[in-house]
Amino acid sequence: MTDTRRRVKVYTLNEDRQWDDRGTGHVSSGYVERLKGMSLLVRAESDGESGSLLLESKINPNTAYQKQQDTLIVWSEAENYDLALSFQEKAGCDEIWEKICQVQGKDPSVDITQELVDESEEERFDDMSSPGLELPPCELGHLEELAELVASSLPSPLRREKLALAVENEGYIRKLLELFRQCEDLENADGLHHLYEIVKGIFLLNRTALFEVMFSEECIMDVIGCLEHDPALGGLPRRHRDFLTKTARFKEVIPIGDPELRAKIHQTYRVQYIQDMVLPTPSVFEENMLSTLHSFIFFNKVEIVGMLQDDEKFLTDLFAQLTDEATDDDKRHELVNFLKEFCAFSQTLQPQNRDTFFKTLSNMGILPALEVILGMDDVQVRGAATDIFSYLVEYNPSMVREFIMQESQQNDDDILLINLIIEHMICDSDPELGGAVQLMGLLRTLVDPENMMATANKTEKTEFLSFFYKHCMHVLSAPLLANTTDDKPSKDDFQTSQLLALILELLTFCVEHHTYHIKNYIINKDILRRVLVLTASQHAFLALCALRFMRRIIGLKDEFYNRYIMKNFLFEPVVKAFLNNGARYNLMNSAIIEMFEYVRVDVKSLTAHIVENYWKALEDVDYVQTFKGLKLRYEQQRERQDNPKLDSMRSILRNHRFRRDARTLDDDEEMWFNADEDELEECEAVVPPSDNKTTKASDGENEDLMDPISKFMERKKLKDSDDKEVLGKSSSLSGRQSPSFKLSFSSSTTKTSLSSPPGSPGSGAKGSPPTAATVTTKVGLVDYPDDDEEDEEDVGGESKEETPPLSKKSKLSS
């Protein structure tokens, strides 16, 4: 179907009261068997005659259809589902409107086919029985009566509709504006106040036909004049017309040959001004009554963008003058501001239309033009160019990345577009660095792998990141490297610190998302050492940024990073910052302690490095257990390295569990056996020293730090004779009885203690050998294969059920 009269765009109104574009196609009407009635059908134009259906809507006899601006038909299909058809030509709109009116039995000359909201039956009967709303004569003496009539009609949708029809049919608006001019000449304040209420009420009638009259070239300034005389201002009118005619000036930077387009631009600017500045802030009730005004502005903007986009000569002239060296600065400033406003208008477009819009600008050479503009000295021009660049990056970062990589094949690094952006971020003269923050956000979007595409032939992530680290990273990190040549920042003023914080924020993002590329850069350029110089800054926010950067690196648990940190002793500035902070309880204190706590729990290699090199500086910190926990964790690791048998013991504890009843497990023991080695180490890290005198194998601090298994091994060596005596008693009961362990755990601490040998007081044997039916001997949990002489200590645990003891041989075979 190629008939342009039937070419339409389909819109739906979303929850934010904005129109969403559902596509472009061709509309027709016909009987649909499934819907049992005449229906409107819109097929997508890109799919030809048999294209997919964009819309299939039955023409319901009770649905209110509205015709707006000669090329729009709007209606609601459900309580919160509004639809609109925007026609390319008025003739097509009239044709479909006649079909709708024919189905509903309405006169095609009306602009609305039904009442919008149902009224109560009594009100409906009263209003329908009246022939129509009669307006008072449009004279100065009847303005108060007319103002009261308008105010009384607004709460009733049916009366609003009758009032709107009466105002429209009698040409009342132009008569009112004539009275307005008379009242101004006579300085009739009361009349002007009544006219304000009347005109404001006409806006709330929410009718397109009335807006088209009010916003016409000959009427709109008088309408604005009526709205200047708000009674609430106490007789002091606003000067909106003075602003529009004297202050606000329309600059035609590129001649617009189409008078219709020029008029549409003027109208849209003035209507937008009325909505934003002239009309009082609407109440919740009034907000819904201005939806047609919002739609009027929206469709005007769509039409303006479309008309400019289709004018190839206009856009060609625009970009030619932008990049022409002969163009003077004032002219270029105006051109850039126009392009910025043009891009801002495009934000009202839906994704499909916006895609076409930016593709058109790309084909016209907008990115090379921006590169030229950003190289200029004019701060205002560069600011406008940055705003335009942000529209492009937010819309399609891949398009920008592709251009950047292509130009790198022809230009030096210094004049690349992305390096110009980085330089403007670094050289931002704003004390608050507002522009630098905006540019940093754009750079972050460009280097974010999440929005990079991968195809069969190439991977955008690999190509662009390789390019970025080769051609751009040295520009980004230059201020950081220049400011960290000594043990403290060479420049520590507020603005420099803010800039370095922004750079660190971007580098931290790279650490989290780029892995390989940023790792090579950090290690080869010794970036982390330079960053940690900033922990000596007088600005806490910058020192915290440096700590955050290191914390992200440690959080990766990458041994390449860990070896780099240990080799260069990079915890030294962190420890210095911690000690210099003293006893102050602040963010610096908490951030450093959290870092050490993370290392204690998760990073073994760094734990050893910290204890071996910085323990003397940290050993007196006792208001948290982090540093003592680090030392304990370190000594546990050393003990396992020095005595491999400990690992064998742990393995047996986990894998060979001998129970009196294999079907039952105490909760505490089950938690022990199911825990992996790291969890056991964490548990042991918080074990307090035992108070049992029999467990003291050595004196001093080393004993307090030994874990329960270490204590057991030490006791075995020092109390050999006592053990033999215990084993002798055990043998009298059950022959070659294996040792027993008593392991009792609570939710907060872990305890290991010796039990009495069988037959001793408290053992449960009560001095007599047990029988098979009455066994009281505690059964061992583990045997040690290297214990040939049975030099073992009996450490037993309470149980719920008891079984006869097993021999060592039978246990090992199990």
Q: What average pLDDT values come out for the chain (814 residues) when binned by 10 residues?
A: 74 79 88 84 72 84 83 78 86 89 84 60 42 81 90 84 87 92 91 93 89 93 93 83 87 85 91 88 62 87 87 87 85 89 84 85 89 85 91 91 88 84 91 91 94 71 92 95 93 94 96 93 96 96 97 95 96 96 92 96 92 94 93 91 66 49 44 45 41 39 42 48 42 37 35 36 38 37 39 38 37 34
Give CA–CA dist 673/443, Å, rounded: 51
Q: What is the pLDDT of residue 288?
A: 64
Cα-to-chain-centroid distance, residue 612: 42
Q: What are the DSSP calls for 291-357, one per residue?
A: HHHHHHHHHHHHHHHHHHHH-HHHHHHHHHHHH-TTS-HHHHHHHHHHHHHHHHHHTTS-HHHHHHH
8 Å CB contact between 72 and 2:
no
Give CA–CA dist 223/35, Å, rounded: 46
Give CA–CA dist 349/624, Å, rounded: 58
CA 428, 430, 433, 435 torsion-angle sign: negative
Helix (H, G, I), strand (E, B) or coil at 22: strand
Give CA–CA dist 284/278, Å, rounded: 18
* Matching residue, tokens 């499934």: 34
- Among 108, 105, 153, which residue's Cα sits nearest to residue 133? 153
Give CA–CA dist 622/749, Å, rounded: 19
Angle at 37 between CA 33 and CA 40, to 5 degrees: 100
- Return contacts of 49-58, CB within 8 angstroms, 24+ apart: 49/1, 51/25, 54/10, 54/22, 54/23, 54/25, 55/10, 55/22, 55/25, 55/27, 55/83, 55/85, 56/32, 57/83, 58/32
Give CA–CA dist 465/516, Å, rounded: 10
Give CA–CA dist 801/662, Å, rounded: 10
Q: What is the pLDDT of residue 675?
A: 47
DSSP state of 814: -
Q: What is the pLDDT of residue 617?
A: 93
Strand pairing class (72-78; 81-87): antiparallel
- Among 136, 275, 310, which residue's Cα sits nearest to residue 204? 275
Cα-to-chain-centroid distance, residue 270: 36
Tokens of 293: 């005004």
Q: For the chain, first and last CA: distance in Å?
A: 85
- Return contacts of 238-245, CB within 8 angstroms, 24+ apart: 238/278, 240/273, 240/277, 240/278, 244/270, 244/273, 245/221
* Matching residue, tokens 């001004």: 273
Q: What is the pLDDT of residue 328?
A: 85
* Matching residue, tokens 């540093």: 627
Backbone angles phi, psi at 326, to 5 degrees: -80, -15
Helix (H, G, I), strand (E, B) or coil at 632: helix
8 Å CB contact between 312 and 360:
no
Give CA–CA dist 731/726, Å, rounded: 9
Cα-to-chain-centroid distance, residue 349: 23
8 Å CB contact between 494 and 539:
yes
Element (H, E) at 53: strand 53-58
Q: What is the pLDDT of residue 185?
A: 92
Q: Residue 537: left if φ>0, alpha if ψ -120 to 50, beta else—which one? A: beta
